[in-house]
Amino acid sequence: MRRNPAAVLLDALNEPDLDARVAEGLPWLALTYVDLDWDWLVRNAKLQDRQNRLGFAVSLASEVEEAKRERESTQTRSLVGHVGKGAACPRGYLLSRLHDKSGTRVAPRPSFACREPLESAH
């Protein structure tokens, strides 16, 4: 049986001795079910004097989301920087070194280095 995520979150906030692993999952719950009935949840959290716990869980979720955005932004900037370096490759050269001239895989992921295309080796 599938439960309402807002009710699950409220039940967890009401638990006097919540397991640490469950508590660590509360921000995930708030991030995953962003379309849950927040009005109902806030109203009931206030009625049960759990608004501080709810606020804490939501602030942790916000921090997790911000850290994720920063990490993705850093990865994107790094990729753009690598591509920018590779943009100076001579015409006809390729922008990665995944395979050597025989077609054998030499790197687990792109290194963004200029190399001659495979066709020119033959």
Structure token pair of residue 115: 């190399």
Indicate the length of the chain as a whole number. 122
For the entire predicted model, the pTM comes to 0.57
Is 44's pLDDT higher than 90? yes
| Residue found by looking up tokens 């921000």 in the block | 27
Q: What is the DSSP letter of 48?
A: T
Rounded distance, CA 83 to CA 93, Å? 13
What are residue 115's DSSP bridge partners?
94
Average pLDDT over every residue of 80-102:
50
Is 41's pLDDT higher than 60? yes
Average pLDDT over every residue of 63-88:
69
All residues at 6 or more sequence positions from 1 whose CB lies less than 8 Å from its CB, including other chains: none
Structure token pair of residue 39: 């009005």
**What is the chain's mean pLDDT, rounded?**
74
pLDDT of the residue at 13: 92
Which amino acid type is present at position 71?
Answer: R
C-alpha distances out from residue 80 to 23, 66, 93, 112, Å:
38, 21, 18, 11
Select, from the ranges 16-25, 65-74, 105-114, the one with the highest average predicted confidence (pLDDT): 16-25
90, 93, 98, 101 alpha-carbon torsion, rounded to 10°? -130
Q: Give percent of the chain above pLDDT 70.
A: 61
Question: Phi and psi (nearest 5°) for 85?
Answer: -65, -40
